[in-house]
Amino acid sequence: MESRVKFLGHPIHPMLIVFPLGLLATAVIFDIIALARDVPFLFSVSFWMIAAGVLGGLIAAVFGLIDWLAIPAHTRAKRVGLWHGIGNAIVTVFFAASWVLRRATSDRPSATALTLSFVAVVIALISAWLGAELVDRLGVGVDDGANLNATNSLSGRPAAPQNRDSGLRRVA
């Protein structure tokens, strides 16, 4: 099932999710380093990473929702996509709440702010696995004709298989 919204022939949602996922995960890593080494400046860096990550997550969510709405009803992909979306919504809310709690003292976040971020990153890992399940196992967002010898996405031609085994032979 191909993605509904593309840029230069590729789905937009998977292109965008790398930014919030990377920013939010790195914010947690910086928080851990700041706690372990007593480096308050890193808490401030995390504060801004969370702001950018939440904003990026909201933008990616728009494209993810459009793709999810196109998945046929009563399929495993629709259910997995729903849980993926719910998980990401929870992650976004937890990080947004952590960010709000950090605003007054961005260089010394409260235990609640840190806990929200730490729990959110665990949920994000689960949700990312669900997203990978959608693409890798269920083929959501994958061009219907995808194969190892497909034409360039900018060619304007379909990615129809060029031969029966598409250039890949299975080894027993």
| CA-based end-to-end distance of the chain | 29
pLDDT at position 151: 79
Residues of the chain with pLDDT under 50: 166
Measured in degrees and rounded to the nearest 5, phi and psi for residue 140 equal: -75, 130
pTM of the model: 0.85
pLDDT for residue 170: 53
Burial tier of 32 (Cβ tally within 10 Å: 0-12, 13-18, 19+): middle
- Residue 137: its pLDDT value, please? 86
- Whole-angstrom distance, CA of residue 91 vs CA of residue 9: 29
HSE toward the beta carbon, residue 80, CA cutoff 13 A: 19
